[in-house]
């Protein structure tokens, strides 16, 4: 049996998931060797074997994008190795997203995370990054958006539900709400991993 890397032209890890809220929705996350995300963007044929096999198995995706994460999504401390995975995509008007702005968003999120981790249990891992492609969002009408992306792994949904009831969460969430930015939160359950 070939590994994902041999079949996928550079994909090191792949996780297949279903949405918690909509079990008929499938989400596939993959991690690529070295700078394969950029290679796939600049030279789509380099990743075409992997993409073609995913399209053949699951049909055309509703959306596809690439994120450069702060750490590996898989392995020890990798959020995509968890039973339940939270993905949050936060949209900002592209013209607003300067290097200084990105740094401030990252610092705000780090402070939020520091606070909530005081009361968190069942956390498997966290990675953050910026989506490489500009995105569209119905609430950002004059231009496209740049997105900050957060992926956090959990042992179970019960730990997420418990955290949102705690005082540390109530203390921390205003840091993110102050961004006044549209966001998309998706919770997914891992079905199986391919390495």
Q: How many CB atoms lie within 10 A of CB 24?
A: 6
State the pLDDT at residue 89: 93
H or E, element range at 111: helix 99-116
62, 92, 66: which is closest to 11 by C-alpha? 66
| pTM reported for the whole predicted model | 0.79
pLDDT band with cut points at 50, 70 and 90 for residue 122: very high
Under a CB-based contact definition with an 8 Å cutoff, are residues 160 and 88 in contact? no
Return the higher-pLDDT residue of 25 and 180: 180
Bridge partners of 186? 87
Report the percentage of the chain scoring pLDDT > 90.
46
Q: Spell out the domains of the chain, with CATH numbers in brackets.
A: 4-66 (no CATH), 69-186 (3.30.70.100)
What beta strand segments (E) does 56-169 contain? 67-69, 84-93, 123-131, 135-137, 140-154
What's the rounded Cα separation, in Å, for the pair 154 and 86?
8
Helix (H, G, I), strand (E, B) or coil at 114: helix
Name the residue with higher pLDDT: 33 or 44: 33
Distance of alpha carbon 100 from alpha carbon 102, whole angstroms: 5
pLDDT classification of 30: cutoffs 50, 70, 90: low
Whether 10 and 36 have beta carbons less than 8 Å apart is answered as yes
Q: What is the pLDDT of residue 9?
A: 52
- Whether the CB-CB separation of 187 and 79 falls below 8 Å is answered with no
In the numeric block, the tokens 């998706």 are attached to 186
Residues facing residue 127 across a β-bridge: 151
Q: What phi, psi does 121 have (nearest 5°)?
A: -135, 155
């Amino acid at each position: 049996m070939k590994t994902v890397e041999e079949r996928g032209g550079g994909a090191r890890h792949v996780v297949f998931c279903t949405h918690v809220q909509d079990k008929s929705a499938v989400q596939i996350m993959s991690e690529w060797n070295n700078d394969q995300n950029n290679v796939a963007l600049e030279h789509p044929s380099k990743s075409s074997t992997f993409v073609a096999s995913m399209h053949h198995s699951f049909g055309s995706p509703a959306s596809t994008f690439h994120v450069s994460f702060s750490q590996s999504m898989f392995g020890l401390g990798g959020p995509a190795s968890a039973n339940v995975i939270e993905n949050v995509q936060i949209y900002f008007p592209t013209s607003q997203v300067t290097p200084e702005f990105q740094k401030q968003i990252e610092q705000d999120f780090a402070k939020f995370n520091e606070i909530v981790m005081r009361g968190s249990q069942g956390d498997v891992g966290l990675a953050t990054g910026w989506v490489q492609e500009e995105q569209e969002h119905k609430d950002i009408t004059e231009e496209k958006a740049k997105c900050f992306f957060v992926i956090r792994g959990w042992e179970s949904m019960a730990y997420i539900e418990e955290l949102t009831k705690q005082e540390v969460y109530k203390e921390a969430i205003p840091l993110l709400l102050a961004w006044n930015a549209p966001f998309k939160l998706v919770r997914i359950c891992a079905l199986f991993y391919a390495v």
